[in-house]
Structure 1
Amino acid sequence: MQDYKLFAALAAVVDTGSFERAAGKLFITPSAVSQRIRQLEERAGQTLIVRSTPAKATPTGARLLRHARQVALLEQELQDDLRGDDHERLVELPIAINNDSLNTWFIPAVKEVLITERLLLQLKVEDEAHTLGLLKNGDVLGCVTSVEQPAAGCTSTRLGEMRYRCIATPAFAARYFADGMSREAVLRAPAITFGKIDTLHSNFLASRFAVAAGEFPAMIVPSVQSLLHCIQAGLGYGICPELQWEEIQASGALADLMPADGPMVPLHWHAWELQSPRIGRFISHMVAQARARLPQ
């Protein structure tokens, strides 16, 4: 049981970013947190926490953190089973997910199982190409990612495809793309993009028109809904999830600039191989619902 306390201290420091806030979370003193981390580091024979602001786990610390989170979930479910508790305690569920999934299919897919399994989502939002790093670091127990190959000790399950449409208002399309999209047209038409870390738009232009990132004018709007609002306002053209497009296409307020050639991103679910029964039920439900909602 003592080891669990040491692992809990490691998780608290990484989650909160400091020894002081970790102490508040665990209801112990900062010196007690520091002592528990030192005990773990002595057993591991190496540093587990980078004493920076915020505090971060070293690669070895991240591996131990993954173990700590698994142990905590399994222990809690075991305690519930031993008590025969019909009203299981709420369990925190840290997940990394991309913005487009969060704003379209994810919440409708998991809302029922979150309620029935009494789970509290702790979401970390990142680009789909970068969410896997949060899983590897032990920050989350599962992630939605565009990467297929699983990390060591993890599984990978295909969810489906996230398909996109390149859209603009009819007036904007008439002004900049009267003769259709072309290299010359995209070099002068203002684009609405999510941000520099999100390469979906730039990769799309590079593959279709040999236009590199930085060669085309762009407005950065790091919000899925606000990006769509800017496109609807006629400020530029952009790429939105097909699931969003399906909700607005009937109005005629927006035009699909390349109906047969929108971008596509495969999505996969990655998680630790060892899961508690309750989290396992969540994963099974989420995967089934995702596959029902996303093109395969």
Structure 2
Amino acid sequence: MKNIDYKLLHAFSAVIKLQSFEKAAEFLFLTQPAVSLRIKQLEQLISQPILIRSTPIVATEVGKKLLNHYYQVQQLEADLLPQIFPEDPISPIRISLATNADSLATWLVPVLTPLINKHPIELNLEVANETNTIYKLKDGEVFGAISTQETPLSGCVVDKLGVMNYTLVASPSFKNKFFKQGINKNTLIKAPGLLFDHKDKMHAEFIESEFGLSFGSYPYHIVHSSEAFVTFAKQGLAYCLIAELQIENELKSGELVNLLPNKQLIRTLYWHRWSLVKGVFKKVSDTIIKEGNKVLR
């Protein structure tokens, strides 16, 4: 039976994270040829490639499985070492999780703040569309992910967090300029909307469902920021779907108006994480579930 040498996995992880053999060598205090040799040894061990030498450098499917395994071993080690060597200074624990931008802009950071203040945590938040965060968990980049997917991945478990309600809003001046005669097909083809990125299907699916307009038949801006969504809407630059949690004050003050009072887009969010989660990782996971259930009712 073949055994994996973890120093080879460590080198592999460094190359993927730093996206450079040279930077990985500096990080590991090795020469670049030594790092390349470790990658080659790992590939020879499993008799297949583990990465694609492209820009960016990407792991193959088997490479992703190796990384996923290695990151879980790191998590177990981070939990175990303080128990074995209690007299040693506690090093910060790097915790990586994937989140959608709207959760990050509203409830996630406040609920994690007490834990970060109490434990030596280095938080790494990977932001992606709520339909795509799950792939970062699948690839081993994170230990947990907030996603709209209900079905857990192999080796993972999932809990329902709750729902985020999205409202179609604009500033009063924007409404008066573009939707004075109401919001319909004819007025929408002239009014600029707002998307998070080209993978953002939320806006397109909502407009097509409610008004029968296909994506591309109306103008839109692209802004990679949930906070910027609010700014664009308040400045009268676009109409857009925004999580109600993020604009409660603006709706109350009238700075933003609900364009479709009888219509909402509802997204159910789930928390996916590795089945074997211990220590601080488990505390982070439990906090997200408990507090998420309170906020996302």
Same fold (TM over 0.5): yes
Q: Normalization by structure 1: what TM-score?
A: 0.94
> Identity of counterpart residues, as a percentage?
35
Aligned partner of residue 260 in structure 2, secondary structure = coil
CA offsets 1:140-193 (integer angstroms, 9 cap, x no match) = 221111111122111122111111111111222233223432222222222122
Give, as a single letter, the amino acid of the residue that structure 1 aligns with 2:121.
L
CA offsets 1:190-219 (integer angstroms, 9 cap, x no match) = 212222211111111011111111011112
Distance 1:267 1:85 in 2: 41
8 Å CA contact retained: 1:94, 1:142: yes
Residue of structure 2 in register with 1:135 after alignment: 137
Aligned partner of residue 76 in structure 1, secondary structure = helix
Aligned partner of residue 165 in structure 1, secondary structure = strand
Residue of structure 2 in register with 1:15 after alignment: 17
- Please tell me whether residue 106 in structure 1 is matched to residue 108 in structure 2: yes
| Pair 1:2–1:190, CA change in 2 (3 A) | closer
Distance 2:153 2:32 in 1: 33
- Cα RMSD for the two superposed structures: 1.8
Residue of structure 1 in register with 2:45 after alignment: 43
Q: Which runs of 5+ in 1 are unaligned?
A: none
Residue of structure 2 in register with 1:180 after alignment: 182
1:280 Cα shift? 0.9
Residue of structure 2 in register with 1:84 after alignment: 86
8 Å CA contact retained: 1:4, 1:72: no
Matches within 5 A, 1:89-238: 89-238=91-240
Distance 1:87 1:108 in 2: 27
- Please tell me whether residue 25 in structure 1 is matched to residue 27 in structure 2: yes
1:86 Cα shift? 8.0
8 Å CA contact retained: 1:114, 1:282: no
Aligned partner of residue 290 in structure 1, secondary structure = helix
Distance 1:187 1:290 in 2: 37
| Pair 1:276–1:29, CA change in 2 (3 A) | farther
8 Å CA contact retained: 1:166, 1:258: yes
1:77 Cα shift? 2.1
Aligned partner of residue 165 in structure 2, secondary structure = strand
1:88 Cα shift? 2.8
- Please tell me whether residue 259 in structure 1 is matched to residue 261 in structure 2: yes
| Pair 1:32–1:199, CA change in 2 (3 A) | same
CA offsets 1:214-258 (integer angstroms, 9 cap, x no match) = 011112222222222121111221111111121222221111111
8 Å CA contact retained: 1:153, 1:273: yes
Moved more, 103-112 or 137-146: 137-146
8 Å CA contact retained: 2:98, 2:145: yes
Distance 1:167 1:271 in 2: 34
Distance 2:165 2:120 in 1: 31
Residue of structure 2 in register with 1:70 after alignment: 72
Distance 2:182 2:265 in 1: 17
Residue of structure 2 in register with 1:3 after alignment: 5
1:32 Cα shift? 2.1
